[in-house]
Amino acid sequence: MLKPIQIKEDLFYLGVNDRTKELFESLWPLPEGVSYNSYLIRDEKNALFDTVDICYSDVFLKKLEIALDGKPLDYLIINHMEPDHSGSLALLRTKYPDVQIVGNKRTADMVQGFFDIKDGVKVIEDGDQLSLGKHNLVFYLTPMVHWPETMMTYETSDKIIFSGDAFGTFGTIDGGITDTQLRPERFYDEMVRYYSNVVGKFGSPVQKALEKLSSLEIKYICSTHGPIWTIPEQINKVVSLYDKLSRYQGDEGVVIAYGSMYGNTEQMAETIAHELAVQGIKDVIIHNVSKSSHSYILRDIFKYKGLIVGSPTYNNKLFPNVEYLLSKVESRDMKNRCFGYFGSFTWAGAAVKRLAQFAEDSKFEVVGTPVEMKQSMHEDTYNACIELAKAMADRLKQDR
C-alpha cells in the first residue's frame, strides 16, 4: 500500500507516477514517464489541490484517505481541468459527496460539461481568498497557461504556489519528490520539452501570469507534473526559464532539421553543420525529421536562436515530415528566430519555394541565401552551403 508523503507539517503529496503511457496527449513521447501531482493541506478545513489521471484513482484515493486520517475533505481546488488532473473527480465526489469544488467560472462550466456536476461548486474570481484556518489561500487566474480556465493558488503563510501545469516537466519523480532529494538538473531539458510541446503557443499569457505572480514570495512551487521546487536557486531558475521561453529567447546555437530520402539532402545538412562549427558555433543540433520525434526537435528550436531547415521536393511539395514539423512551429507563434533553408530536387523543384513561404508566414529573420540542389552535391552546391553556414554564424555572433 502506497502512503501519502508529508512534505511539511500540514502539506501532503498524493501524486502518482505513470511509467506505462507511451504518448502524452497521444502526441509526445514519454521515455521517462510522467507524474500526476496532487496535494493536500490539512487544517481546520482540509483542501485538496487537483486529482490525478483516472487510471491511478485507486492508489490516489487510498493515499487521500490515509492523509485525511478520518477527517472530512472540505474543498477540492481545481487549478486545471485537463483530464490527467481532473480524471478522478467523479470518483472523488462519490467518496466525499460533501466536498466543495472550488474554481473559476470556466472551471465550473467544464466540471458540468465533463462530469455533469452542478451542485457544490464554489465559483471564485481573480484575487479571491479562502481561509482554511491557519492557512489562507489566494486565487490567481492565469488563463491560457495553457487552457482558458487555468489558475494558480497561493498559500500565504508557507509561501506555496500550487501552479497547475506551469513549471511542470515530463519524467517521473523517482524516490525523492523535492529538489532537495534528487538531482534537479535531469529535469530541465524535460521542462523545456514540456513547455515547447504543450505550452509553447501561449508566450503572451505566460508573461501575464509571471507578471501577476512577480510580487509574491515563493518558497515552494507545487506543479502538477515533476518535482516540487523548494531550493531558492532552483525556484529562481525555474521561473527564469519560463520567462525566457515565453519571450522566445534562444541561446546561441543552430538547429538543423532536414528530410532526406536517399542521403543527398543530408549531405547538405552535414556540410552546413561542419562549417557552423568551423565558424565557432559550438551548439549545432542536427535532426533527421524521419527519425527524431518532433517533440525533441521543437524542444531544441525553443532552446536555440538559429534554425536551418532542409527538404527534398516530394510530390511537388515539401517532404511530409518537414511539412508537419513546420506546421508545429507555426502553430506556436514563435518569434526571434534566425532562419535559413535549403532544398533539393531531381526533375522539378518546389521545396525551396515552399520554405520561402514558411519564412514569410512565420516572420522569421531570413539569414543567408537559400540553397537549391539539383540531383546531387557538386562544387557549386557545396560552396553555397558553406556560405549559408557562414551567414548564420555571423548573424548569431552579432548578439554576443
* Reported confidence tier of residue 349, pLDDT bands at 50, 70, 90: confident
Q: Using one digit for the tens of pLDDT, what is the confidence trace for 254-279?
A: 999 999 999 999 999 999 999 999 99
Strands 11-13 and 5-8: antiparallel
CATH of the domain at 136: 3.60.15.10
Q: Residue 1 pLDDT more than 80?
A: no
CATH of the domain at 259: 3.40.50.360
Whether residue 289 is found in the same domain as residue 217: no
The label of the residue with cell 491557519 reads 134
Strand-by-strand arrangement of the 11-13 sheet? 5-8, 11-13, 39-41, 47-49, 75-77, 100-103, 121-123
Whether residue 218 is found in the same domain as residue 263: no
Q: Residue 385 pLDDT more than 80?
A: yes
Task: Tabulate helix, strand, coil % of the chain (nearest 5).
Answer: 35, 25, 40
Whether residue 196 is found in the same domain as residue 265: no
CB of 305 closer than 8 Å to CB of 317: no
Across residues 111-121, what is the average pLDDT?
96
How many Å apart are CA 252 and CA 272, to the nearest integer?
Answer: 16
Tell me which of 246, 264, 281 is where a domain ends. 246
* Signed CA dihedral, 92, 97, 103, 106: sign only: positive
pTM for the predicted model, two decimal places: 0.94
How many Å apart are CA 125 and CA 138, to the nearest integer?
Answer: 10
* Reported confidence tier of residue 346, pLDDT bands at 50, 70, 90: confident
Nearest to 90 by CA among 110, 68, 71, 70: 110
CB of 353 closer than 8 Å to CB of 316: no
Number of structural domains, the chain? Answer: 2
Tell me which of 230, 246, 262 is where a domain ends. 246
Tell me which of 246, 274, 300 is where a domain ends. 246
Whether residue 270 is found in the same domain as residue 372: yes
Across residues 91-105, what is the average pLDDT?
97
Which cell is 253 given?
A: 546555437
- In terms of residue numbers, what domain contains 32? 5-246
E strand or H helix that includes residue 327? helix 320-330
How many Å apart are CA 74 and CA 87, to the nearest integer?
Answer: 19
Whether residue 162 is found in the same domain as residue 266: no
Whether residue 352 is found in the same domain as residue 238: no
Strands in 31-173 per DSSP E? 34-36, 39-41, 47-49, 75-77, 100-103, 121-123, 129-131, 136-141, 151-155, 160-164
CB of 182 closer than 8 Å to CB of 169: no
Whether residue 291 is found in the same domain as residue 375: yes
Reported residue count of the chain is: 400
Whether residue 99 is found in the same domain as residue 187: yes
Whether residue 99 is found in the same domain as residue 214: yes
The label of the residue with cell 513547455 reads 195
- Cis peptide leading into residue 85 (ω within 30°): no
Q: Using one digit for the tens of pLDDT, what is the confidence trace for 52-93?
A: 999 999 999 999 999 999 999 999 999 999 999 999 999 999
* Reported confidence tier of residue 348, pLDDT bands at 50, 70, 90: confident
Q: Residue 195 pLDDT more than 80?
A: yes
Whether residue 102 is found in the same domain as residue 40: yes
To 10 degrees, the CA torsion angle through 178, 19, 206, 50? -70
Whether residue 206 is found in the same domain as residue 257: no
* Reported confidence tier of residue 201, pLDDT bands at 50, 70, 90: very high
Whether residue 370 is found in the same domain as residue 269: yes
How many C-beta atoms surround the C-beta of residue 186 within 10 A?
13
* Reported confidence tier of residue 345, pLDDT bands at 50, 70, 90: confident
High-pLDDT (> 70) share of the chain, %: 100
